[in-house]
Amino acid sequence: MRYDLCVAGGGPAGMMAGLLFARAGLRTVVLEKHGDFLRDFRGDTVHPSTLNLFDELGMLDALLARPHDRVDRIGAVIGGRSYTIADFRHLPGRGRFIAMMPQWEFLDFVADAARRDPAFELRMNARVEGVIERGNRIEGVTLAGGAAIEARLVIAADGRGSVLRAAAGLPLEDLGAPIDVFWFRVPKPRTGRNETQGYIQNGEMIVAIDRGDYFQGARVIAKGKADAIRARGIAAFRREVAATAPAMAEGMAALTDWDAIKLLSVSLDRLTQWSRPGLLAIGDAAHAMSPVAGVGINLAIQDAVAAANILAAPMLRGEDPDPLLEKIQQRRMLPVRVIQGMQRIAHDRVIGAALGGAFRAPAALRMIDGVTLLQRIPARVIGLGVRREHIRSPAAD
């Protein structure tokens, strides 16, 4: 069976690409290696840029009918004092907040929306293992079990450990990430406002993501220090987190063993070449982002929108997509470089300093905290990003 588009990976980039290309009338299949979307420890931050894209599609109200919390300001507690970093309430469009939505809810919503188009197909339990190559061109993918799927264009959206980018031989530049993250969850009472917060104190950095009746916790550590922390025991882990993030203290007793705590190895890298004839990489497959500011999901979705904007109409006319593939990289590389550059600065000057011991709020943060108008600047960078995309791809009649 030959498709117009074969998308490997049912994460945010892959599902958004599947939705938009099928919406245009191109026969599209998305291949997801798991049997469902129910996996924890994934990013849950749907930023204003993404909310506004769904508003442009006429789907925002339906999206927000899914379970979520709204965060219209973000801040940090440093040395026991609270600072406001960004205020999203003055951004353009209806997306004036971050929607804290479990990623399985978001992906399930996109899948349901895409299924309304007869050109869309989603295959679960479809593990991509390699590419079909004829001459110098990628013509499709092979699946576990030996099945093959051919397509006019393959989109690699299979994440930071992308099988397809390796199979296609796309060159990867490792920028280095000096941190890792312990992920865990602890129960909490449901409150009237979202209490997502970052905490820095005494050489520790904890992010508490409020998911209603529990906190998704992230303990940021120096890369390579996980074994030393585990060696101190689970009781020490609970004490250290509770001392840094008092809001989580009551629920820490729920962490009874290390099986409830997962280690995320943080990567920061990008392809220097996103495509070759017949194949395009987007999202984490093209550029793995640090968890800093939770922007990875939203950059990945922007990639998918740019790809559809540039490719969908020409492909509908029967044109060869290959000459256009480099334009997606040219369009999206600036935002990637800017955001990754900011993340590297955060790693070195903020997180590194915070984990090193004595740390006081930087002068810029103290100034932003005291001037409400200045809080709109980081809100725009975090919420809308750089060179944000709008829906330009066609919709089939």
pLDDT, tens only, 247-291: 999 999 999 999 999 998 888 999 999 999 999 999 999 999 998
pLDDT for 42 equals 64
pLDDT for 397 equals 75
pLDDT, tens only, 333-377: 999 999 999 999 989 888 888 888 767 788 888 889 888 899 999
* Contact residues for 211 (Cβ-Cβ < 8 A; gap 6+): 44, 69, 100, 102, 185
CA distance 242 to 97: 28
Q: DSSP state, 347?
A: I
| Percentage with pLDDT > 90 across the chain | 76
Ranges of H-type helices in the chain: 12-23, 48-56, 60-64, 103-114, 163-167, 226-231, 234-244, 296-316, 325-345, 352-355, 363-370, 376-384
Identify the CA nearest to 172 among candidates 279, 281, 263, 278: 281
* Contact residues for 331 (Cβ-Cβ < 8 A; gap 6+): 306, 310, 387
pLDDT, tens only, 139-171: 999 999 889 999 999 999 999 999 999 999 999
User: Tokens 């997180």 identify what position?
Assistant: 351
What mean pLDDT do residues 195-205 have? Answer: 90
pLDDT for 199 equals 93
Query: What fold does the segment set 2-70+85-175+268-384 form as a domain?
Result: FAD/NAD(P)-binding domain (3.50.50)
User: Token pair of 119, please?
Assistant: 């050109």
pTM equals 0.93
CA distance 166 to 185: 33
Q: Is 359 helix (H, G, I), strand (E, B) or coil?
A: coil
In the chain, where the domains are located: 2-70+85-175+268-384, 179-265
